[in-house]
Structures are given as structure tokens and as C-alpha cells.
């Protein structure tokens, strides 16, 4: 292959932190990025070639993007698969991942069915259109169960445990639409695998342990502190998932490790994912560079672990429409093993992802952070750094 | 300290590959970059907030830069120190490194005198204004000697060995201006140290071995394959140099290791330098992030080695005003341990720096690249990858 200037131009629907980090990965490759996003001066804007202001389903904006790009992709599930498919066809621009894959993943019921049909292990689930369906699901799957909105949920929004049949109406009203019920998994831990589908091969990164509180990812630890057999099973399942997906790109595969050491698929994201942010420092080829390589049909990069890594999110802790400031960032900057990632958002909301910090082993205080114990230390250190910050 | 959006805006005079890599490092920190450069759509343009088109001494352009920036810096010695000083004062914008430092470094005679006055070891040198001076210098320092243009030389341009007194006139005509003569050092190897001056401290990266051919840096190997005592002496000298420099920022300190294991300073660059590109992958905080931290007065980052690293330059091998392409880049993309850096230049010239490749140990084929022998292997591998490419 030949490398030119620009090496390629990628059009990305969405310009949040994922679009920003795609842009940051594009620079060294000589790839240029144009994003479309409804928020003027979105997080990606300062680091990419250009932003087109437009909603995620604004077909004119997507067309403008396509006319400037060699490949169209998206960094948010709210991207409109129909609009992308139409624009891709009309402008003869490849769209990756395939809009069909996005369509499947957008509806959690359709997603679960596709996985189950492909013999991928998922929690037991039932379609729920009304309270009767929900009560029937409870009879089958046992109470409590997990009620999930079929569409539009993310970061735990749209997910709600339901205690018993009496709560059926209230729970459905809260979810506010078509839903599915899942057996509530009493998991040992949550793990995730970032997978990638390239032109002629599939690869997967090492298994990451994901730590959630209030349904939001707080920290990730890689490699996951679990048995090698579990990690191996998680990667097997991830490869099975990748086989079912149409179109090239990086996929985030969120998994439950059950009490018995089994693996079930929780959810799939058809894009780089928070549980893969550690790859920026923890591998030679990050999930963002990998996504660019994949959608372009370039050779995939190595998914091999370079160092154990722990990532902790900087989540908004106040509701502020005013420009916010993070106090206490100097401790992060001073920590030898830490890399700060600030997403360039102006307004905070409670639990809004404002940035993250990744610590790697082998440097500074983390010089001897080997094995499970070493990762415990990395995790404590990352938590200390994040806990010492506040939004003002 | 408090982190906001943007965390800061840096104005950079110059938007070549160094400005581009400063821009790439700024994204994760939440720092925005505006560059000024005479070439419209310069290499930095696609990855930074904005480019102002203007010559390196265009005071209006520098003023526009200053009005948008919290701190002014430069990535090229051709920046005009007088214009930067005047604009900095008029707009109350700090300039780092200090324009005085730039002024000193721009004139190699003044640079050598400042180093010698500060008890930093440099090759013996003489001021040369005409052929008589040059012949007298040869009498003192011995033939052959190295003739250097006092101003405007870089990448070996403006340096010329002179065989003997008969060549004096021709050599001076070629240099074409005020010069200095230096004793020709029969060095064991060339090494370099990237140093950084922060708000209240100085740090230095591990010693890098720099391999030149035709006066152009081809490869760097870190840590340098030399004795620990030599490396330690090189860092000592680097710290002595940093003490003499006014203003915060990253400095590239190029050194000779003599046959006797001594260290002499060859040249100083008041900016990130090609011999520090390895830090992007080889340390947690690259020279580019470090430069941003330093000029902003933020805490400095770690300069600790994360992995041994070898960098090889992708140099233009044809003279082409037409947009060029690099053939053979797929081998670089396929190598597990390699990171490609493409600078986004459209036209090639022989020996023009078009990009570079860095290989780190501990992954892929480089899994066991420990010790001197490991670095030999990394270096051969990097050379193979670069040698397999051609510009078309």
C-alpha cells in the first residue's frame, strides 16, 4: 500500500470524547478526521480537521461528511443507520461498521436475539411490551430481574432492576417504551473485550475487568484479575461475537463472569468503548488507531499487552451549565505512571464523563506492579488520584 | 491547579512536524494549539485548533498568535526572537524559552562561547570571518577541521569539513557568511539528551544514541549502547547546559562521546528534537507533552524510560514538487512493535524528514529485546522497515 498526504480522510458521525480520541490517534497515521455533531465546538473539534454541525440523523450533514471522506464511521449509537446507509450508497462511500450492525445493536432485543441465534451465551431474556409481559417474564426468569429499554439506553440509563410483580407498572413507566426483561445475573465480576474486525482477520485485546458503580463504568483493570481459564473463555466468546458482526471496526464486548466462571454477553458497542481506553498506553496500537486501521481496510495493529494498565474515569460530580474546572489535577500530572485525558467539555453533569486517567506499571511508584497485587496497587493509586479531584 | 476547557491555549511559531507532534500531545491534556507558519495547510494544521499563515518573522502573525494564546513558544530556530520579545511584551504574553536563549543558540559562535564560559565542555573553536582566520584556526586546531556557518544551518546544512589551508577560500565561499571553525572530533559515537526546564526544576530523559549519515539523523537508539559511566557523564553535562538556559521548555542537547569516553557538547536545540521522538512511545510523558507542561509552568512529567526504543526516520529520497506517496508502508503497519508517524507533507525532497517509525521492546518479535543485543535487533528491524519503503 502507498501512504500519501492525507493518508485518508475519515468522516465520523459524533464528535464526543470518542471522536476526539479517534482524532488524536489519526494524527500520527497521517489520517485526517472530519466529524459531525450537533454541539458547535464539540470535544473533537479542536483536534480534527473540521466539524460539521448537525444532528446525528441530519442527512445533509452526513452527506457533507461523506463527500469529504474516504470512509464513513460513527462513534455513537445514536447515529442514524438508515441515513448513513442511504448517504453511503448515494455517494459511493463505504460505511463501517455496517449500518445493519448498528441497527441490530440499537435494539437490545434484536441484539440479544442475534447473539442467541448465533449460539453466543447471553442471559435469559423475554420481550416485554406491557406489564403482563413483564410479570410473565418474572414467572419464567425469577425475581428480581433486569428491565432494559430496547432503544436509546446508555451508561446505565434505560436499565432498571425490578424487585417483583407489584413494581411492573412503575418500572415500565420509568423505562417508557418497548423493553426486554433479562434474568438478573449474580456475577462474580464484569469484564470486557475490545475486538476488531479487519479486512481479512479478527483480533481481540486482552480481557479487561470493568468496575461499575451506579451503573457507570468507574475503573478498568487490565489484564482482568481473574483465572486464566476465564480470560481465555471471555476471548473465545468475544471472537464468536465478532463472527456475527457485519462490517469492519472496533467493537466493545461487555461480559459477565458468573459465579461459576462462565461467560455471558451483556452488551455490545459497535465502536471504541470506555473499557478500552487503557489501550492508549497499554498497547502499541490503541483501540482508536485500530478502529481507523480497520475501517480503512489497512493491516490491523497489535492487540498485545504492553503493560498492565488501570484506567479511572473523571466523572462530573456537580450539575453546572457554567464552564467547570477540575480542581486537584496537579496530583495526576505529578504521578509518574499517570496519563491524563481531558475531553474538552465545558459543562459538567453528575456522572458525565469529563476525562480519564490511565496508570501503567513499570515506571515510578508502579515499578514493581506485577501480578494481581500489582494491579490492586495501580487501582488504589488511580482511585486516590481521581478521588482527590473535584469539579468547581 | 484547576483544569478547564481549554486547559490552556499555546501559540507556536512554526507548524512543521514538531508543531504537529506538539499538537498531537496537546489533545489528551485538553490544551489547544494555534500555530503560525508560512506554508498554508502546514503539517500541524489538520491536528490543531488553527493555523495563522505568516512568516516566522511576521510580527502581525505572531501578534495574532499571542492574542489567542496563554503562552508563546516556537518549534523552529528560524523564529524571530526580537519579534517574539516585542509581541510578548506588548501583549503581556509569556514567551518560553526566553527569546534571549533563542538568540544565543541561533549564532553558533555565541552559543559555543556561552557554553565555554559556563564551563560546559565543547570542541575547541575559533571565530572565522575570512580565509586568513580559517587558516590561522587550522594552525591552532589542526587539519582537517569543521567549518560551521554561524547562522541558519540545520540538518547538517551549513557544516563542512575542511581538509587543509588550500581549501579555505572554497569552503568559506560555500558556507557563505560569518563562520566558526571547530576542531574535528574523532568521536566514538554521537549521543543526545533531551532536557527540560520547568517552573522550579530541571529533568533529563535517558541518553539516546544518534546515528547520522550525510550529516542527517537517521536512527536513534535508547538507551545509548555505551557504558553506564558515559551515560552518566552525558546527563551531568546536559544538566550543566540546562542551568545556562533562560526560559522554560524542552531542549535537545547533542553530544559527542570521544574515543576516551569524554563528553563534548556539539549543538543545542531550544525545542523538541528529532533525537527525542522515541519518547512518544518510550516514556509515559513524551518530549512534546513535556514541552507543553514546561512552557505552561505545569508540573513536569516523568522522564523515566518505559521501554528501550529505536526510532528511524523516513527521509525523502526523490525531488518531487508533486504530491508524493510512500510505497511499502504496510510492513510498518504490520510490525507489532512499530508505531508510524507520518508528518503530512505533500512534497518530498532528498533527505527531507517525511515521517518516522519507532519500535519498542517487549511486544511481538521484540519480546526479548533486552540489553545491547536487543537494541541491535530493534535497530536492524527498524532499518529493514524503513529501507523497504520508497517514495514515488
List chain A domain ranges.
8-95, 124-183, 187-391
B25 pLDDT exceeds 90? yes
Cell digits of residue B194 = 533531551
Subunit contact A299:B325, Cβ cutoff 8 A: no
- Mean pLDDT of the B14-20 span: 98
In the predicted model, what is the mean pLDDT of residues B325-345?
96
Chain B residues touching residue A32 (CB < 8 angstroms): 46
Chain center to CA of B171: 26
Place of cell 423505562: A175
Kindly state whether B323 is in contact with chain A, defined as any CB-CB distance less than 8 angstroms.
Answer: yes
Chain A positions touching B278 (Cβ under 8 A) are none
Partner A contacted by B307 (CB < 8 A):
yes
Q: What is the pLDDT, as a whole number, of residue A323?
A: 86
The C-alpha of A382 sits at a distance from chain B's nearest C-alpha, in angstroms, of 15
* Residue A304 to residue B363, Cβ atoms within 8 A: yes
| Candidates B284, B343, B363; nearest CB to A339 | B284
Average pLDDT, chain A: 95
Q: Determine the residue among B35, B50, B342 to mutate to test chain A binding: the one whose Cβ has the most chain A Cβ atoms within 10 Å.
A: B342
Segment B190-205, tens digit of pLDDT: 999 999 999 999 999 9
User: Residue B141: pLDDT above 70?
Assistant: yes
Same fold, A8-95 and A124-183: no
Per residue in B150-193, pLDDT tens?
998 666 668 899 999 999 999 999 988 899 999 999 999 999 99
Task: Identify which of B281, B307, B336 has the shortest CB distance to residue A304.
Answer: B336
In chain A, pLDDT over 70 holds for what percent of residues?
98
Contact A20/B27, CB-based, under 8 Å?
A: yes
A158 vs B21, more confident: B21
**Closest to B284 (Cβ–Cβ): which among A6, A345, A360?**
A360
Percent composition of chain A: helix, strand, coil (DSSP 3-state, to 5): 35, 30, 35
CA distance B358 to A81: 38
B170 touches chain A (CB under 8 A): no
Q: Which residues of A touch B338 (CB under 8 A)?
A: 284
Q: Smallest CA–CA separation between A238 and chain B, in Å? A: 21
Contact A360 B306 (CB under 8 A): yes
The grid coordinates of residue B24 equal 498531537
pLDDT of residue B154: 63
Rg (CA), chain B: 21
Minimal Cα–Cα distance from B324 to chain A, Å? Answer: 6
CA distances, B207 to each of B222, B238, B285 (Å): 7, 10, 16
- Orientation of helix A81-91 relative to helix A59-68, angle to 10°: 40
**Using one digit for the tens of pLDDT, what is the confidence trace for A272-314?**
999 999 999 999 999 999 999 999 999 999 999 999 999 999 9
Give chain B's mean pLDDT: 95
Distance between A62 CA and the closest CA of chain B, angstroms: 20
pLDDT digits (tens, 9 = 90+) for A35-78: 999 999 999 999 999 999 999 999 999 999 999 999 999 999 99
Alpha-carbon radius of gyration of chain A = 21
Interface residue A5 vs chain B (CB under 8 A): yes
**Using CA atoms, how far apart are residues B79 and B61, in angstroms rounded to an integer?**
12
A positions 325-354 inside 8 Å of B (CB)? 325-327, 329-330, 333-334, 336-346
pLDDT of residue A196 exceeding 90:
yes
pLDDT band of residue A156 (cuts 50, 70, 90) is low
Window A:234-293, CB contacts with B under 8 Å: 280-281, 283-285, 293
A344 closest CA partner among B219, B9, B55, B162: B9
Asked if A3's CB is within 8 angstroms of B329's CB, the reply is yes
pLDDT digits (tens, 9 = 90+) for A326-366: 999 999 999 999 999 999 999 999 999 999 999 999 777 77
Q: Which residues of B touch A5 (CB under 8 A)?
A: 323, 342, 344-346
Spatial separation of the C-alpha atoms in residues A8 and A280, rounded to whole Å:
21
pLDDT digits (tens, 9 = 90+) for A80-95: 999 999 999 999 999 9
CA dihedral A259, A135, A174, A102 (to 10 degrees): 60
Contact B355 A30 (CB under 8 A): yes
* The listed CATH number (3.30.200.20, 3.30.465.10, 3.30.1490.20, 3.20.20.70) that belongs to domain A124-183: 3.30.1490.20
Question: Closest partner residue to B1 among A2, A6, A330, by Cβ?
Answer: A330
Q: Indicate yes or no: CB of B47 within 8 angstroms of CB of A333.
A: no
Q: Which residues from chain B sit within 8 angstroms of residue A326, using beta carbons?
A: 2-4
The four Cα atoms B37, B314, B96, B23 give a dihedral, to 10 degrees, of 70
Smallest CA–CA distance, residue A344 to chain B, in Å, is 5
| Confidence band, pLDDT 50/70/90 cuts, at residue A176 | confident
Optimal mutation site among A17, A30, A300, A389, interface B, most CBs of chain B within 10 A: A30
Q: Do residues B120 and B265 make contact, with C-beta atoms less than 8 angstroms apart?
A: yes
- Hey, are the CB atoms on B301 and A333 less than 8 Å from each other? yes
Mutate to test the interface with A, among B28, B68, B293, B356 (most CBs of A within 10 A): B28
Q: CB of A371 within 8 Å of any CB in chain B?
A: no
Nearest CA in chain A to B24: A24
- Cβ of B284 and A284 within 8 Å? no
Among the partner residues A281, A307, A333, nearest to B293 by beta-carbon distance: A333
Q: In what order do the strands lie in the sheet with B125-128?
A: B125-128, B179-183, B145-149, B159-162
| CATH code of the domain occupying A187-391 | 3.30.470.20
Task: Please indicate whether, in this complex, the C-beta atoms of A47 and B326 are within 8 angstroms of each other.
Answer: no
The whole-angstrom separation of Cα B127 and Cα B106 is: 15
* Yes or no, beta carbons of B2 and A329 under 8 Å apart: yes
Most A CBs within 10 Å, among B30, B309, B338, to test the A interface: B30
Q: How far is A159 from chain B (nearest CA, A)?
A: 31
Nearest CB neighbour to A2, from listed B24, B48, B325: B325
Q: Which of A359, A370, A254 is nearest to A312 (CA)?
A: A359
For residue A44, the chain B residue with the least C-alpha distance is B27
Would you identify the CATH topology of the domain B8-95?
Rossmann fold (3.40.50)
Q: Give the distance from residue A362's alpha carbon to the nearest chain B alpha carbon, in angstroms.
A: 7
Give me the pLDDT at residue A322, please. 80
- The chain B residue lying nearest A51, using CA atoms, is B49
Beta-bridge partner residues of A265: A255
* Residue spans of alpha helices (H) in A30-80: 59-68
pLDDT of residue A252: 98
With CA atoms as reference, report the closest residue to A38 among A50, A52, A54, A51.
A54
- B1 has pLDDT over 90: no
Q: Which residue of B has its CA nearest to A356?
A: B28
Do the strands B71-74 and B8-13 form a parallel or antiparallel pair, or are they unpaired?
Answer: parallel
What H or E segment, with its residue span, contains residue B227?
A: none
Q: Would an 8 Å CB–CB cutoff place B317 in contact with chain A? A: no
Dump strand ranges (E) for B22-137: 31-37, 50-53, 71-74, 125-128
**What pLDDT score does B152 carry?**
80
Amino acid at each position: 500500500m502507498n501512504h500519501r498526504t492525507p493518508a485518508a480522510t475519515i468522516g465520523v458521525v459524533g464528535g464526543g470524547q470518542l471522536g476526539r480520541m479517534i482524532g488524536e490517534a489519526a494524527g500520527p497515521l497521517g489520517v485526517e478526521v472530519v466529524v459531525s455533531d450537533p454541539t458547535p465546538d464539540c470535544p473533537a473539534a479542536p483536534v480534527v480537521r473540521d466539524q460539521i454541525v448537525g444532528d446525528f440523523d441530519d442527512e445533509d450533514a452526513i452527506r457533507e461528511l461523506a463527500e469529504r471522506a474516504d470512509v464513513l464511521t460513527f462513534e455513537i449509537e445514536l447515529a442514524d443507520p438508515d441515513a448513513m446507509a442511504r448517504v453511503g450508497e448515494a455517494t459511493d462511500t463505504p460505511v463501517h461498521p455496517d449500518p445493519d450492525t448498528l441497527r441490530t445493536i440499537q435494539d437490545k432485543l434484536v441484539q440479544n436475539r442475534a447473539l442467541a441465534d448465533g449460539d453466543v451465551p447471553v442471559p435469559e431474556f423475554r420481550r416485554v411490551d406491557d406489564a403482563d409481559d413483564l410479570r410473565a417474564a418474572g414467572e419464567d426468569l425469577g425475581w428480581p430481574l433486569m428491565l432494559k429499554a430496547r432503544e436509546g439506553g446508555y451508561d446505565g440509563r434505560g436499565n432498571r432492576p425490578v424487585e417483583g410483580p407489584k413494581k411492573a407498572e412503575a418500572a415500565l413507566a420509568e423505562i417508557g417504551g418497548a423493553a426486554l426483561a433479562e434474568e438478573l445475573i449474580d456475577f462474580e465480576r464484569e469484564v470486557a473485550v475490545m475486538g476488531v474486525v479487519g479486512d481479512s482477520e479478527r483480533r481481540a485485546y486482552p480481557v479487561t475487568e470493568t468496575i461499575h458503580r451506579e451503573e457507570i463504568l468507574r475503573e478498568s483493570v487490565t489484564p482482568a484479575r481473574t483465572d486464566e481459564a476465564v480470560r481465555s473463555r471471555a476471548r473465545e466468546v468475544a471472537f464468536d461475537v465478532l463472527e456475527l458482526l457485519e462490517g469492519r471496526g472496533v467493537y466493545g464486548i461487555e461480559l459477565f463472569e458468573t459465579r461459576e466462571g462462565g461467560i455471558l454477553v451483556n452488551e455490545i458497542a459497535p465502536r471504541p468503548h470506555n473499557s478500552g481506553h487503557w489501550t492508549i498506553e497499554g498497547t502499541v496500537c490503541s483501540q482508536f488507531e485500530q478502529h481507523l486501521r480497520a475501517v480503512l481496510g489497512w493491516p490491523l495493529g497489535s492487540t498485545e499487552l504492553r503493560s498492565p494498565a488501570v484506567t479511572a474515569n473523571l466523572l462530573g460530580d456537580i450539575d453546572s451549565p457554567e464552564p467547570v474546572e477540575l480542581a486537584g489535577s496537579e496530583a495526576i500530572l505529578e504521578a509518574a505512571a499517570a496519563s491524563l485525558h481531558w475531553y474538552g467539555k465545558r459543562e459538567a453533569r453528575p456522572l458525565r464523563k469529563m476525562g480519564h486517567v490511565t496508570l501503567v506499571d513499570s515506571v515510578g511508584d508502579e515499578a514493581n506492579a506485577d501480578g494481581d497485587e500489582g494491579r490492586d496497587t495501580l487501582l488504589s493509586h488511580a482511585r486516590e488520584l481521581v478521588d482527590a479531584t473535584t469539579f468547581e
